[in-house]
């Protein structure tokens, strides 16, 4: 099974650059949380407008450069404590969300690439902890490589935006949960949904933990066996994983399985998310 190397970041990727002026994009907020049925915590119209640099001064890097150079700044924001709806311009709100999420996605995929490279380089010396981490029987290299693989950034961004309402859901803001991940342990810490019962929405210490848990879920849960098989087949054909293709294998993720893949692909198309596949964290 071959490993397709991603392009390496340019050593001078992120010099001082002006904020990327993005064209207005059509907005379709398709949210699979209970956010839409709840009264807002505070009327956004009553709050002053927000600009991205008020969240963090580094949130001005150009997304076009990230897509072209396949590298994103090592800017890791722990949580979104403000409502991004305060950013009045829709295109800028969406770009801000991508700028917050992309470094976390790239860092987690970088870690997985390193693990995968080590497994492929020395399959007979894989540490037991990796088999345990991915829930694979010791010595089953074929199954391990099916699980130790990246989740395309296009797919992660699409699901994060869809499931969290562009980071504005209460689960994202108060629980750092950007993917609607649940726990059925009613004694566990979590947020109670207002329109359902029998589960809680998981709480994470920061955005990084949410991204890590989401990727681990897709890479290990039995519900996504076909998802991993399809990805492995792409690898065997000498192609990097395609987020668009992988949307066909996420029916178990949503309560509207017959529509979920199409909605994710729509999110990818409207926001040109395929351009972020293969992005790594920029090196100094």
Determine the average pLDDT of the residues in 244-273. Answer: 96
The answer to whether residue 33 scores a pLDDT higher than 80 is no
* Residue 32: band (very low, low, confident or very high) from pLDDT cuts 50, 70, 90: very low
Please check whether residue 230 is in contact with residue 251, taking contact to mean a CB–CB distance below 8 angstroms: no
Residue bearing the bigger pLDDT, 74 or 11: 74
Q: Using H for helix, E for strand and C for coil, what is the string for 205-230?
A: CCHHHHHHHHHHHHHHCHHHHHHHHH
- The sheet carrying 190-191 orders its strands as 182-183, 200-202, 190-191
Residue bearing the bigger pLDDT, 263 or 6: 263
Determine the average pLDDT of the residues in 45-69. Answer: 93
Query: 27-36, 105-114, 152-161, 274-283 — which is least confidently predicted?
Result: 27-36
The answer to whether residue 261 scores a pLDDT higher than 80 is yes
The answer to whether residue 40 scores a pLDDT higher than 90 is no
* Inter-residue long-range contacts of 42-46, CB under 8 Å, 24+ positions, other chains counted: 42/83, 44/83, 44/85, 44/86
The two beta strands, 182-183 and 190-191, are unpaired
Determine the average pLDDT of the residues in 63-77. Answer: 98
Determine the average pLDDT of the residues in 70-92. Answer: 96
The answer to whether residue 15 scores a pLDDT higher than 50 is no
Q: Is the dihedral of CA 183, 187, 192, 198 positive or negative?
A: positive
How high is the pLDDT of residue 41?
56
**Span between the terminal Cα atoms of the chain, in Å:** 31
Please check whether residue 52 is in contact with residue 94, taking contact to mean a CB–CB distance below 8 angstroms: no
Residue labelled with tokens 């119209």: 45
Residue bearing the bigger pLDDT, 126 or 36: 126
Determine the average pLDDT of the residues in 17-43. Answer: 37
β-sheet bridge partners, residue 191: 201
The answer to whether residue 35 scores a pLDDT higher than 60 is no
The two beta strands, 71-72 and 190-191, are unpaired
* Residue 42: band (very low, low, confident or very high) from pLDDT cuts 50, 70, 90: low
HSE-up (13 A, CA, CB side) for residue 209: 11
SS3 89: coil
Determine the average pLDDT of the residues in 253-268. Answer: 95
Average pLDDT, the chain: 87
Determine the average pLDDT of the residues in 120-135. Answer: 97
How high is the pLDDT of residue 17?
36
Determine the average pLDDT of the residues in 106-123. Answer: 98
Query: 34-38, 146-150, 256-260 — which is least confidently predicted?
Result: 34-38
CA dist 221 and 145 (Å) reads 15
How high is the pLDDT of residue 46?
79
């Amino acid at each position: 099974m071959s490993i397709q190397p991603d392009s390496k970041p340019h050593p001078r990727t992120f010099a001082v650059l002006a904020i990327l002026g993005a064209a207005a994009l059509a907005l379709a907020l398709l949210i699979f949380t209970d956010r839409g049925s709840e009264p807002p915590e505070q009327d956004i119209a009553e709050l002053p407008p927000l600009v991205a640099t008020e969240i963090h001064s580094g949130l001005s890097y150009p997304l076009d450069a990230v897509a072209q150079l396949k590298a994103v700044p090592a800017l890791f924001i722990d949580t979104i404590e403000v409502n991004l709806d305060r950013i009045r311009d829709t295109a800028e709100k969406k770009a801000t969300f991508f700028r917050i999420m992309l470094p976390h996605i790239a860092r987690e995929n970088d870690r997985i690439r390193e693990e995968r490279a080590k497994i492929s380089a020395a399959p007979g010396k894989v540490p037991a902890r990796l088999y345990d981490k991915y829930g694979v029987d010791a010595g089953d290299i074929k199954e391990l490589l099916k699980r130790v693989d990246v989740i395309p950034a296009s797919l992660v961004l699409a699901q994060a935006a869809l499931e969290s309402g562009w980071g504005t859901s209460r689960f994202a803001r108060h629980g750092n949960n950007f993917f609607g991940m649940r726990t059925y342990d009613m004694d566990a810490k979590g947020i109670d949904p207002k329109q359902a019962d029998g589960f809680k929405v998981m709480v994470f210490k920061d955005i990084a933990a949410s991204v890590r848990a989401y990727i681990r879920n897709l890479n290990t849960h039995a519900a996504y066996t076909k998802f991993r098989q399809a990805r492995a087949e792409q690898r065997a054909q000498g192609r990097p994983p395609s987020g668009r293709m992988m949307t066909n294998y996420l029916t178990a993720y949503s309560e509207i399985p017959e529509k979920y893949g199409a909605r994710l692909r729509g999110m990818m198309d409207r926001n040109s998310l395929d351009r972020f596949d293969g992005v790594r964290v920029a090196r100094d």
